[in-house]
Each structure stands twice: as structure tokens, then as C-alpha cells.
A and B are shown apart, each in its own frame.
Chain A
Amino acid sequence: MEMFLTYLKVFAVGGLICLLGQILIIKTKITSSRILVLFVCIGAVLEAVGLYEPIANFAKAGATVPITGFGRSLAKGAIQGVKEMGFLGAFAGGLTATAAGITCAVVAAFIFGLIFNSKTKKF
């Protein structure tokens, strides 16, 4: 029962964040690149202010899977870096925290880019 509740929270919060993006797309017709930029910035600012931590504790993957979680990792890494290394950490922290995700995305894109050819879209 508890597990069911957790997944319900994950579904609701993750869905709501996506719904917010869709409302923005319909209302303002902004491109997907700008949506991504905006959400990363929102996530980073919320983490810096300390509001993202409670959401992440409440919704778990529902808060870390959306791109706002990426922004949150960037801000969290920078704060962590400053705690450990001082000024240098402000430069190093953000990328250190997100290095795994970015590297994986780039490597996967490189490999699959070599393997697959673009298809003509049928819609």
C-alpha cells in the first residue's frame, strides 16, 4: 500500500511538471529548447532557495526525472563544491554533479548517431 502511494506521488508530481510545460507550449508557443532552458533554471533556483529538497523528498523520481532535477543537481553540486573546495568549487561543482548524465547522453548520442540513419517522418 505504501509502495502504491509512493508511485502515485511520483506519477502526480512528474505529470504535473510536464503539464506545466505543455501549458507553456500552448499559451506562449515557445520552442522545446527554451522549455528545457527555462525548466533547468527554475530547478536550479528552487534548489538554491531550498524549496526543491522537500519536493524531492515527497515525490522521489517524480522530481528527479524531469529536467528541473537536472538544474537542481547543477545547483546542489555547486553548493556542495563550495563547501568542500571553497571558490574553486563554484567552478567545479556543477559539472561534477551532472557529469555522469551529460557524458552518458553524449556518448549514447554518438554511438546511436553512428549506427542509425535518419528516417523520413511519416506524420
Chain B
Amino acid sequence: MKKEKHLSRNEQYNIYVEAKIPKTKSFPSLIYSFLVGGVICMIGQGINDGLMAIFPTMGQEEANSWMLIILIFIASLLTGLGWYDRIGVFAGAGSIVPITGFSNSITSPAVEFKKEGIIFGLCVKMFSVAGPVIVCGLVISFITGIIYLFF
């Protein structure tokens, strides 16, 4: 009897949460994510071409690495200033999927949890979102290497 009551409270809570979370308007958010994602990639291509024009000795691979570093740095700065979240509100995946979203997912908890201390707040929470990404990425890269080694 007691358990049943507990369950119903959980269900009530779920209904409450459902009512409170912001509804993503599906169609406009699709367009915004496409536009924002595309624009971020175009900025990346612009940085890439700019670097290759300024430093003629730079190869395609090197320019690409520098371009990613610059994008990551800018996204981190924008996150610190609190501007990246405003883009994220309407762009959805358009701001998550590019590498800038990865940078945002590291900086955002770092800024958020600084008040819990430098080591146990900032340094620990930094990887709360990006940690799984790096772990899964490394595991799959290792598996790829092993498969390539034997086949």
C-alpha cells in the first residue's frame, strides 16, 4: 500500500516535470540548428583559408588543427562570458554538435562549479560531460587500431 502511494507520487512528479520543461518547437529548431551549425562550419573554413593565406608554408592538416584550436578557444571564451548559452537556447544541436559544443561542454561546468573549489569543483566537474566523450572515443580508437593491426 505504501509502495503504491510512493509510485503515484513519482508519477505525479514526472507529470510535473513534463509540464515544466521547455517545449522544443520542432520545426523552427530544425532550421536554426541547420543554419547555426552551417555558419559555425563556414567560420571554421574561413579561419582555415585565412591561416593558409597568411602562412603559405602551412599545410592543409596543420591549418586544420590550428583552426580547431582557435574555434575551441573562442567557444570557451564565449561560454565564460555567458554568450554561448544564448546561442544554444534556440540553436539546439547546431551549437552542440560542432567542436565548439565540445569546448562549451568542458568550460560550462568548470565555470559553474568553481564555487565548490578549484580542485574538487572546477577540475573534477570539468569532465562531467566531456569525460564520456573522450572515454568512448579513446576506446573506439583503440579498437580501430587493433582491428587494423590484425586484418
- State whether A91 touches B142 (Cβ < 8 A): yes
CB A115 to nearest CB in B, in angstroms, measures: 6
In angstroms, Cα B98 to Cα A15, docked, is 10
- State whether A23 touches B97 (Cβ < 8 A): no
**Residues on A with beta carbons closer than 8 Å to the beta carbon of B107:** 105, 108-109, 112-113
CB B99 to nearest CB in A, in angstroms, measures: 6
Tell me the nearest residue of chain B to A33, going by C-beta. B129
Determine if B86 is an interface residue (Cβ-Cβ < 8 Å). Answer: yes
Q: Chain B interface (Cβ within 8 Å of chain A)?
A: 24, 26, 29-30, 33-42, 44-46, 48, 64-65, 67-69, 71-73, 76-77, 79-82, 85-86, 89, 92-94, 96-103, 105-107, 110-112, 114-115, 118, 122-123, 126, 129-130, 132-134, 136-138, 140-142, 144-149
In angstroms, Cα B69 to Cα A101, docked, is 6
In angstroms, Cα B144 to Cα A112, docked, is 35
* 13 new A-B contacts at CB < 8 Å, known A66-B99, A110-B126: A10-B44, A25-B92, A90-B145, A91-B142, A100-B65, A106-B106, A108-B73, A108-B103, A109-B76, A109-B107, A112-B76, A114-B122, A116-B82
- State whether B105 touches A32 (Cβ < 8 A): yes
Contact with B along A71-94 (1 / 0, CB 8 A): 100110111011000110111011
Tell me the nearest residue of chain B to A63, going by C-beta. B41
Number of interface residues of A (CB under 8 A): 77
**Residues on A with beta carbons closer than 8 Å to the beta carbon of B115:** 118
Q: Chain A interface (Cβ within 8 Å of chain B)?
A: 6-7, 10-26, 32-33, 35-37, 39-41, 44-45, 47-48, 60-62, 64-71, 74-75, 77-79, 81-82, 86-87, 89-91, 93-95, 98, 100-102, 104-106, 108-110, 112-119, 121, 123
A-B pair number, CB within 8 angstroms: 267
Given contacts A17-B37, A44-B137, A108-B103, contact A67 B97 (CB under 8 A): yes
- State whether B94 touches A18 (Cβ < 8 A): yes
Partner of A95, one of B35, B45, B64, B138: B138
- State whether B73 touches A104 (Cβ < 8 A): yes
- State whether A14 touches B98 (Cβ < 8 A): yes
Tell me the nearest residue of chain B to A92, going by C-beta. B145
**Residues on B with beta carbons closer than 8 Å to the beta carbon of A14:** 37-38, 40-42, 44, 98
In angstroms, Cα B122 to Cα A8, docked, is 40
**Residues on B with beta carbons closer than 8 Å to the beta carbon of A82:** 145, 148-149
- State whether A7 touches B42 (Cβ < 8 A): yes
- State whether A108 touches B72 (Cβ < 8 A): yes
**A14, A110, A115 — which one has the most chain B CB atoms within 10 A of its CB?**
A14
